[in-house]
């Protein structure tokens, strides 16, 4: 079979999502399972969005609007840009695919940091082979090091992914270093700001959302998603903002009807649900602070986070700890697949979910400690 396969595909280390609840239920026959593994918003979606989804159900025998026109128009207005600055995808991962397919020519490279979202590497490998992907080191605070990234730029570099705040570390880059970086990057390269967690940052005044850069027609592409703060991970909607020339080219590779009717309607409705968004930010902030100090009280190193998740270091075999947590009904995320084999990432959930996680973690850590004596 392998001889039939595109050799680039054989180089891919597949993306490993958090374990599905259904799988765990089957394996261990558990009564209660809490999944905090994929950085979803655990608050139920607003009534307005639920109603929009219900209404659209009567139309699902018809293809959706391939152009995503109304959603793009609303997103343009929402972000103070024009219709031709916006493209919508089935999740922002679809747009990551489109970007690399569209802009990476033979011999060119994609550049990002180590310890970040694995999709940049997976998609680059699929399209151009593993050697087309270049990683710069992070700094000691587990933050993107823009100096180190700049040092790796060479004539072959084509696309640079900056994840801000970063997944899985939760760390963020201040505004001035990003502005300086964008100024330094030669104009024949594309800087992609992956802002999937932008709504969670503490201080929007110290954050580059990329909109000014797009208005100035720089080679900057901003990626946003409805999967996190808007609570629509299951519907797969993301978008990119960029100058019209970039969007027009991306439209050439966009699959027709790429975003479902229900997803378009739900995304539109969720842009009208500011209360839900504000409540999600408020809840995340409060619950994250509590979870942070609870993890610290268990003697664990935790990384300060500007997102809806926390990276922590259990100082023991992560695979064993993970298995024990799974048996207790807790699904969180070992970060080996992100280049951090000694870490685990937990999503900030509802208070009751976080309490369940902490109680089980405490229990499992005590058992492991007892066994070691
Ligand atoms: C940094 C980052 N970018 C993009 C995505 C993909 O989001 P979407 O659900 O829009 O495909 C994720 C998802 O976890 C992410 O962490």
Pocket test for ligand 1, best of 16, 93, 164 (most atoms within 8 A of CB): 93
Q: Is the Cβ atom of 194 under 6 angstroms away from ligand 1?
A: yes
Q: Calculate the average pLDDT of the chain.
A: 96
What digits encode the pLDDT tens for the residues 86-143?
999 999 999 999 999 999 999 999 999 999 999 999 999 999 999 999 999 999 999 9
Band the pLDDT of 175: cuts 50, 70, 90.
Answer: very high
C-alpha dihedral sign at 183, 147, 334, 357: negative
CA atoms within 13 A on the CB side of 42: 20
pLDDT score for 21: 86
CATH of domain 47-272: 3.40.640.10
Distance CA 53, CA 57 (A): 6
Q: How many angstroms separate the Cα of 111 from the Cα of each of 116, 224, 293?
A: 12, 19, 35
**Burial group, residue 18, by CB count within 10 angstroms (0-12, 13-18, 19+):** middle
Q: Which is nearest to 360 in space by CA: 125, 33, 126? A: 33
Owner of token pair 């208070």: 351
Which residues make Cβ contacts (< 8 Å) with residue 31, sequence separation at least 6? 329
E strand intervals along 19-64: 34-35
Band the pLDDT of 172: cuts 50, 70, 90.
Answer: very high
Span from the CA of 368 to the centroid of ligand 1 (angstroms): 34
Q: What is the DSSP letter of 171?
A: -
User: What is the CATH T-level fold of the domain 2-44+275-372, as seen in this structure?
Assistant: 3.90.1150
Q: Is the Cβ atom of 167 under 6 angstroms away from ligand 1?
A: yes
């Amino acid at each position: 079979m392998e001889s039939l396969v595109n050799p680039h595909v054989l180089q891919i280390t597949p993306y490993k999502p958090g374990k599905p609840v259904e799988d765990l239920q089957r394996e261990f026959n558990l009564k209660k399972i809490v999944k905090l593994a994929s950085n979803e918003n655990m608050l139920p979606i607003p009534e307005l969005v639920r109603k929009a989804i219900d209404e659209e159900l009567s139309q699902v025998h018809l293809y959706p609007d391939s152009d995503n026109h109304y959603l793009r128009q609303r997103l343009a207005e929402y972000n103070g840009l024009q219709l031709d600055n916006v493209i919508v995808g089935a999740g922002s991962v679809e747009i990551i695919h489109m970007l690399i397919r569209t802009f990476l020519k033979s011999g060119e490279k994609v550049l990002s940091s180590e310890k970040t979202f694995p999709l940049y590497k997976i998609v680059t490998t699929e399209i151009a082979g593993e050697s087309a992907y270049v990683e710069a080191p992070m700094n000691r605070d587990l933050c993107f090091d823009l100096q180190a990234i700049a040092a790796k730029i060479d004539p072959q570099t084509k696309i640079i992914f900056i994840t801000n705040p970063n997944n899985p570390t939760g760390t963020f880059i201040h505004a001035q270093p990003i502005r300086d970086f964008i100024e330094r990057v030669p104009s024949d390269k594309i800087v992609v700001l992956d802002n999937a967690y932008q709504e969670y940052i503490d201080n929007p005044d110290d954050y580059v959302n990329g909109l000014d850069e797009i208005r100035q027609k720089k080679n900057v592409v901003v990626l946003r998603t409805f999967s996190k703060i808007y609570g629509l991970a299951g519907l797969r909607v993301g978008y990119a903002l960029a100058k019209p020339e970039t969007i027009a080219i991306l439209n050439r590779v966009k699959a027709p009807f790429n975003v479902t009717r229900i997803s378009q309607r739900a995304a539109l409705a969720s842009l009208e649900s500011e209360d839900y968004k504000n409540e999600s930010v408020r809840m995340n902030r409060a619950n994250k602070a509590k979870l942070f100090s609870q993890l610290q009280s268990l003697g664990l190193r935790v990384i300060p986070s500007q997102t809806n998740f926390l990276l922590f270091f259990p100082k023991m075999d992560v695979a064993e700890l993970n298995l024990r947590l799974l048996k207790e009904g807790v699904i969180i995320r070992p970060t080996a697949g992100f280049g951090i084999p000694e870490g685990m990432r937990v999503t900030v959930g509802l208070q009751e979910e976080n309490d369940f996680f902490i109680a089980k973690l405490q229990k499992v850590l005590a058992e492991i400690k007892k066994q070691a004596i």
